Chain A
Amino acid sequence: RKEVEQDPGPFNVPEGATVAFNCTYSNSASQSFFWYRQDCRKEPKLLMSVYSSGNEDGRFTAQLNRASQYISLLIRDSKLSDSATYLCVAPGRGSTLGRLYFGRGTQLTVWP
């Protein structure tokens, strides 16, 4: 079983829509998780960290459900600039930071 699993999509939504992505993780001992954003042919960049039950930053809300071992990312009022691939990330077992397990990414396209 993979460390992190997520639906690759694609998700195609109109501007202003609300969209949610889910991902599941296998290591029940993991304490922190991340959502990274990756634009086409660019490097991943940290979007949000999730350390407890959830985290909110403007239009973006990340939630963690430890009992079910899944993480979600909610984007409200989608903008054209939100079009990207969103990567769900969990840290490796007992590792220093930097050793990360990525899902395959969920592709989002926001259309006018």
Chain B
Amino acid sequence: ETGVTQSPTHLIKTRGQQVTLRCSSQSGHNTVSWYQQALGQGPQFIFQYYREEENGRGNFPPRFSGLQFPNYSSELNVNALELDDSALYLCASSSQKDTEAFFGQGTRLTVV
């Protein structure tokens, strides 16, 4: 177990709806990154939060947004869901001193 937990584990939403995914980082880790993994592809970097501030963003539209809280847990929000948003969403936590990013088990989102 990595100590990184994500909720929910599975989710089905309708096109156009909004979704919030949650991640609790490993104790002592102040950095959380979110990734989207489509079927048959590697994870793609969405954005990263460091000490409650966005610290870099990948090639995702503004309808993908996030938050990090004082306890370093994080949320990923996706508005106006599209069918192509169906994927495994992974959260990874790390600290500045670590050499490894620890992944949660992921949230599998299906948009119908």
Contact = CB atoms under 8 A, between A and B. Distances in A.
A96 B31 contact: yes
Contacts of B73: none
Interface size on A, as a range, is: 20 to 34
Interface string B23-45: 00000000111010000111111
B56 interface: yes
Nearest to A91: B101
Interface of A is mostly: loop
Contacts of B41: 104-105
Interface in A1-54: 4, 8, 32, 41-46, 49
Contacts of A32: 99
B105 A98 contact: no
Contact of A46 (B40, B93, B96, B100): B100
A98 B95 CA distance: 8
Contact of A98 (B2, B40, B101): B101
B104 A100 contact: no
Contact of A49 (B90, B99, B104): B99
Interface of B is mostly: strand
B37 to A, nearest CB: 8
Interface of A: 4, 8, 32, 41-46, 49, 87, 92, 95-105
A102 B108 CA distance: 19
Interface size on B, as a range, is: 20 to 34
A98 B94 contact: yes
16 contacts: A43-B103, A44-B43, A95-B56, A96-B50, A97-B95, A97-B98, A97-B99, A97-B100, A98-B32, A98-B33, A98-B48, A98-B92, A98-B93, A99-B55, A100-B45, A104-B41
B70 to A, nearest CB: 19
Contact of B31 (A8, A49, A98): A98
Nearest to A101: B45
Contacts of B42: 4, 87, 102-105
B106 interface: yes
A101 B35 CA distance: 10
